[in-house]
Chain A
Amino acid sequence: MIPSRRTLNILNVLALAGMLVAIYMAMIQAPFAINLTETDRWAQRIIYFHVPSAWSSMLSFLITFIASIIYLARGGQKWDIIARSSAELGIFFTVAAIVSGSIWARPAWNTWWTWDPRLTTYTIVLLLYIAYFMLRNAMDDPSRRARFAAVYGIFAFLSVPITFMSIRWWNTIHPVIMSPEADFGLGPGMTRAFITTNIAFTLLYFTLLANSVRLAWTVERVAALRERILQVH
């Protein structure tokens, strides 16, 4: 599960190409939305950044959840590294989604922030994973840290799905896009850009994860080597 340098190089190039295509699709290829004012039309393009970020954040937390379960079931430091690296990326993508959403909300809802259930629950998801790192940092023993973090990573993810369901259970002003019945009026050109950017962000996520995992793995190995050399001398 620790990616080789070669794999990393390939992934890096692919992710870069993917992001360039995504930017082209989102900014140039995708048509303007109809029935919107000039500002809103530009703001609408944030969807190609906002939704992929939110999707990638959920994917990150799912991977943390799965890696945590495997760590508890089978052990192995690499699973702890994967869980931690993925949670880190999850925080990054969550902040990206919140900030981009806020920028869109200013022209669309006429406010940067509103206490909408979707926004609030999503922000609490961010706090969940900040708490995850606070828990990690509050322990010195590495094996206990990994074990406790895995338990928390499992509990934390259980309350994440409620974020997705929140838009269906409450009256919320947040638009529903990921649903079979509501296609949110995305035209064919827009759908193409929408799907492409989501794929590009997913690829970006896995590339960052692979880099991060290899880096953490190397750090651990250097620490172990140093320990051994110090013992010899």
Chain B
Amino acid sequence: MKAYFRVAWAVLWKDLRVEWRTKDMFTSMAVFAVLALLIFNFAFELRVPDKRMVVPGVLWVTVAFAGVLGLGRAFITEKDRGSLSGLLLAPVDRSAIYFGKMVANLIFILVVEALILPLITVFFNVPLITLPLLLILLLGTIGFAAVGTIFSALTVNTRAREVLLPILLFPVLLPVLVAGIRATIGLLEGDTLNDLANWVQLLLFFDLLFLIVAYLTFDYVVEE
């Protein structure tokens, strides 16, 4: 068990260091997210009576689109430089590689979220940075990274690659996105987490389900 965590940690640490040095994923995700927010502002400005009505959608759509942009890169650089074969040749449990990568992706998306939450608060004048909302966002992002990481490994071996990823990812993520958006709407309307227990449970359920299925199927995705 300890060895398993060491492998996952090694993969995670490697990804973080690569990202720290290149800043490839972070810059593209962050710039894209800010762009998306500005475009949303153009679309809704003065036309929406209450900004609260659109903020949940804006938040989740921005996170989803920016996230998928970053996830698309997760395996491509590995594949193109041949380091993926190196990783897979290592005599370790492959699901540990999955968890390392998945946590790395999770952290990248969380960093982008940390950037856009204050921006949304400023642009839309809606206070978003509350503990319950951060929890909902975290749960939603876990589900997103869980499915996104394995699908990223899937599409890297196909012809269409990045183009295919959002098409595969978004419909499967529907339950997570819907629960996240619904819970966010509830929180902005003044509900407590207790009132929203249904949606929180749904998020937890799908996070767990997707993690387990990804754990079980990752071997088949990277097998040559």
Contacts of A23 in B (CB 8 A): none
Output the least CB separation between A166 and chain B (Å): 9
A98 at the interface (CB under 8 A from B): no
Number of A-B contacts (CB under 8 A): 74
Using A131-B168, A152-B154, A154-B213 as known contacts, say yes or no to A162 and B220 having CB atoms under 8 A apart.
no
Output the least CB separation between A71 and chain B (Å): 9
Q: Are B171 and A148 in contact (CB under 8 A)?
A: no
Within 8 A of A (CB), among B59-110: none
Contacts of B158 in A (CB 8 A): 135, 138-139, 148
Contacts of B174 in A (CB 8 A): 121, 124, 159, 162
B122 at the interface (CB under 8 A from A): no
Using A148-B154, A158-B209 as known contacts, say yes or no to A72 and B220 having CB atoms under 8 A apart.
yes
Bound together, the chains give a CA A127 to CA B167 distance in angstroms of 8
Q: Are B154 and A169 in contact (CB under 8 A)?
A: no
Q: Are B168 and A135 in contact (CB under 8 A)?
A: yes
A70 at the interface (CB under 8 A from B): no
Q: Are B220 and A159 in contact (CB under 8 A)?
A: no
Using A147-B223, A148-B154, A154-B213 as known contacts, say yes or no to A134 and B172 having CB atoms under 8 A apart.
no
Q: Mark A127-157, 1 if CB is under 8 A from B, else 0.
A: 1100100110011100010011011101110
Output the least CB separation between B215 and chain A (Å): 12
Within 8 A of A (CB), among B145-173: 147, 150-151, 154-155, 157-160, 164, 167-168, 171-173
Q: Are A159 and B217 in contact (CB under 8 A)?
A: no
Q: Are A138 and B164 in contact (CB under 8 A)?
A: yes
A169's partner among B155, B164, B198, B206 (CB-CB below 8 A) is B198
Contacts of A128 in B (CB 8 A): 171-172
Q: Are B157 and A144 in contact (CB under 8 A)?
A: yes
Contacts of A139 in B (CB 8 A): 157-159
B57 at the interface (CB under 8 A from A): no
Contacts of A162 in B (CB 8 A): 174-175, 178
B220's partner among A127, A134, A135, A151 (CB-CB below 8 A) is A151
Bound together, the chains give a CA A150 to CA B221 distance in angstroms of 10
Q: Are A159 and B171 in contact (CB under 8 A)?
A: yes
Hey, which bits of chain A sit against chain B, CB under 8 A? 72, 121, 124-125, 127-128, 131, 134-135, 138-140, 144, 147-148, 150-152, 154-156, 158-159, 162, 169
Q: Which 4 residue pairs across A and B have the least CB separation, nearest first?
A: A138-B158, A128-B171, A151-B217, A138-B159
Additional pairs, 9, CB under 8 Å, beyond known A155-B147, A158-B210: A121-B174, A138-B160, A139-B159, A144-B157, A151-B150, A151-B220, A154-B217, A156-B172, A159-B173
